[in-house]
Structures are given as C-alpha cells and as structure tokens.
C-alpha cells in the first residue's frame, strides 16, 4: 500500500496528544477529515493503530511500529532539508567521508579545519565507521572518501598514505606492566580495560581481536574520547589501548606507554576512493589536501 506524509503526520500527532481532535488541529485538518483518514489507513493496513477509550487514544503495538518508522521518515526528511538548504546560499558541493576512530579523534579535526577555511562553500559529511565497513562503502560508491587502517584489503580502490600511527597500551604508574617495554595483546586480556563506547570503530576492533584469541575484554568502564580513556587510566581505573598520537604531552607524564607486539599494532592510515577521476572537484580537492598531510 501507499503511505502519504499527511497520514503519517496525523498518526504522530495523535500519539503525541492522545486526542484525535487536538491532533487534527495540529495538522490543520477538520476532526471529521482526520477521523476519516485514520479509519481509511487502519482499513488498508487491516489492523487498528489506536485503542479508543474514554481518556482518548493510545497506540496499539501496530501503531507503535508505524509510529517508529514514521519518526524515522520525518528525521530523514529534516536531514534532507538540512543538506539541501546550503545550496540555496551558494554551496558549491558536499563531500561524504567515512573514517575510523583513530583518524577522527587524532588527525581529521585539524586537517579538515584547514581545508574548510580555504574552501568555505564546501560541506563535509563525516561519519565514524570500522575500516572494513568503510572499504565496503567506498567500493559500493556510497561515500566519496574513506580513511582506514592500512591493514584492510584495499584491492580495487585507489589509495594514498594519510598518517602514520601505532596502537599502544597505557597503564597507570606503578602497574605491573609499567616496567615492560612491550607485551602481546593476549597477555593483557585478563586486565580491566577502559574503552571507548560500544559501537566506536576501535571498540569493535578490540573486541574482534580478543575474540580471535579465544578471550574477551574485561571492560570496566566505557567513555567517549581518547582523552577520557587516558584520564581514567591515570586515575587507576584500568588499562587502555589508544593510538600513540592520542597521548598528549601532559598525559604522558601521568600514564606509562607500553608497546604492543602484535602485527596489527601499527595503524598507518590510508585514504581510499573508488576512482580519483570520478571524484567531484570538491572531493578531489579534499583528497589532495589530506594526501598532502601524509606527504608532509
């Protein structure tokens, strides 16, 4: 069946207000017209969307399901309007990027800031994803530019070096590992960890490698940034794994850095695109700018 936006807006208004009359007023319909629309929609679906009672209307299970999807539709429409609005103000182009946690937290803020100061009429849509998902999205043409760890399978994509980094362990001063120059990841699986939040690219990366070793991480606390990981470790909450670039000079005085001997510890970052000639002028300019960071 077909759904139209007025029907979806009416369903949302009824759910929010609990009243057909108030909902009709909110969506600028006569109560009789709103009632007719709701009746037709329920008949087409074959299920009631609202339970009627003396206090008003409440969504049924089917109504809750429709409402959830309707709100997603409204959110996507708002995002569409937000993406299109800048074009009316002289926006030249929009570039889409996926990048892993390391790139977003440690390098891209300054590098993108420099580019956007030079290109004020360009907009960039940046999303954090694990490297395998980024490679897949770039290969499928879903995003213009990806920033990934070099260990991924980049066959078929055009790449350039971006930044060099390395994952390290950080431990509190006085910890048993503090005297070790380097350890294997398998050795620390029993330690309590301070990690980035579930869903972050590096959290997924750590969990997957722990599983490959037949273990799992003991995650004592999850935080939202590498700086918070470092501060929690300095406070003795647990140990952490972060890119070396995430350990600031001030924090390096409060935690001890321990090398990881596993072959995946080097996290050299790569730019990847499906086809350089196919990039828009703005995307090509951004790609050249970021590749220049690696050349420096």
Each as own residue / partner, the long-range contacts of residues 33-40 (CB below 8 Å, 24 or more positions apart, any chain) are 34/10, 37/6, 37/7, 37/10, 38/10, 38/11, 38/14
The percent of the chain in helix, strand and coil, each rounded to the nearest 5, is 45, 25, 30
Distance CA 281, CA 230 (A): 39
Predicted pLDDT of residue 201: 83
Predicted pLDDT of residue 153: 76
Predicted pLDDT of residue 152: 63
Full set of structural domains in the chain with CATH: 5-88 (1.10.10.10), 95-163+268-295 (3.40.190.10), 167-260 (3.40.190.10)
Predicted pLDDT of residue 90: 56
**What is the mean pLDDT, run by run of 10 residues, along the chain of 296 residues?**
85 94 93 93 93 92 93 88 66 86 94 94 92 93 94 84 96 95 96 93 92 94 95 97 94 95 93 95 95 77
Distance CA 201, CA 170 (A): 19
Predicted pLDDT of residue 80: 82
Distance CA 258, CA 183 (A): 7
Distance CA 171, CA 123 (A): 39
Q: What is the pTM of this model?
A: 0.67
Predicted pLDDT of residue 91: 52
Predicted pLDDT of residue 86: 63
């Amino acid at each position: 069946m077909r759904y139209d936006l007025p029907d979806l807006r009416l369903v949302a208004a009824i759910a929010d207000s609990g009243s057909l009359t108030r909902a009709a007023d909110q969506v600028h319909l006569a109560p009789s017209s709103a009632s007719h629309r709701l009746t037709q929609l329920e008949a087409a679906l074959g299920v009631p969307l609202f339970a009627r009672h003396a206090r008003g209307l409440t969504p049924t299970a089917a109504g809750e399901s429709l409402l959830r999807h309707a709100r997603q539709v409204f959110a996507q429409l708002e995002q569409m309007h937000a993406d299109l609005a800048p074009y009316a103000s002289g926006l030249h182009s929009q570039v889409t990027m996926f990048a892993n946690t390391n790139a977003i937290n440690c390098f891209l803020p300054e590098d993108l800031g420099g580019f956007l100061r030079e290109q004020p009429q360009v907009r960039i849509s940046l999303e954090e994803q694990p490297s395998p998902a980024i490679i897949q999205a770039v290969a499928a043409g879903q995003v213009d530019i990806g920033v990934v760890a070099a260990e991924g399978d980049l066959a078929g994509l055009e790449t350039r070096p971006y930044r060099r980094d390395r994952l390290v362990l950080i431990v509190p001063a006085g910890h048993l590992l503090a005297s070790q120059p380097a350890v294997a990841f398998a050795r620390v699986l029993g330690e309590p960890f301070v990690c980035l939040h579930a869903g972050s690219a590096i959290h997924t990366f750590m969990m997957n490698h722990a599983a490959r070793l037949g273990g799992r991480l003991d995650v004592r606390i999850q935080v939202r940034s590498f700086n918070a990981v470092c501060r929690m470790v300095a406070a003795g909450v647990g140990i952490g794994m972060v890119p070396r670039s995430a350990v600031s000079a001030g924090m390096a005085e409060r935690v001890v850095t321990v090398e990881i001997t596993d072959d995946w510890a080097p996290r050299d970052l790569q730019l990847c695109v499906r086809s350089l000639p196919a990039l828009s002028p703005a995307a090509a300019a951004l790609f050249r700018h970021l590749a220049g960071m690696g050349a420096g």
